Amino acid sequence: MKAEQQIDNTLHRWDLINTYIKHYSFKSFLEIGHDRGQAFDHIDIEHKESVDISSITMPTYVMSSDDFFEKYDTKYDIIFIDGLHEHAQVDRDIHNSLTHLNRLCPPKVLLGRSSDLKVPIAA
């Protein structure tokens, strides 16, 4: 098979998130850890916001996730936790995110990231 004929079978993190958004008709999304917007820019939803300690790529809120959750009471339908990958911080992000998910929008969806998944495509 020629290189140009190969199928890109990477299931990106934003594909998974967009599947949840579409399936449950979610309207609002928060990403903790915007970075360069690699995922954020692909999220297809009515309202999306992001938090990052770095201002470089202009997240919605430039601050730590701890400060964000303390300062704002906004609720979201789905939250993607991908900020500081340290156990204690991830623990706090999960705990705080659970209080910032819309109660009226079951099921609550909270996603974290390890890496993009590679899924085999059936022949």
Q: Which residues sit at the interface with ligand SAM, rule CB under 6 A?
A: 13, 31-33, 35, 38-39, 51-54, 64-65, 82-84, 89
Q: 3-class DSSP state for residue 14?
A: helix
For residue 24 the two structure tokens come to: 């449950």
Shorter beta-carbon distance to ligand SAM: residue 1 or 118: 118
Q: What is the Cα gyration radius of the chain?
A: 16
Reported in sequence order, the residue ranges of the chain that DSSP labels E, i.e. its strands, are: 10-11, 28-32, 47-52, 61-62, 78-81, 109-112, 117-118
Shorter beta-carbon distance to ligand SAM: residue 30 or 33: 33
Smallest separation (angstroms) from ligand SAM to the CB of 23: 20
> Do 84 and 116 touch, CB atoms closer than 8 A?
no
Smallest separation (angstroms) from ligand SAM to the CB of 30: 11
Smallest separation (angstroms) from ligand SAM to the CB of 87: 13
Q: How far apart are CA 96 and CA 93, in angstroms?
A: 5
> Do 44 and 23 touch, CB atoms closer than 8 A?
no
Smallest separation (angstroms) from ligand SAM to the CB of 25: 23
Shorter beta-carbon distance to ligand SAM: residue 6 or 62: 62
Shorter beta-carbon distance to ligand SAM: residue 5 or 115: 115
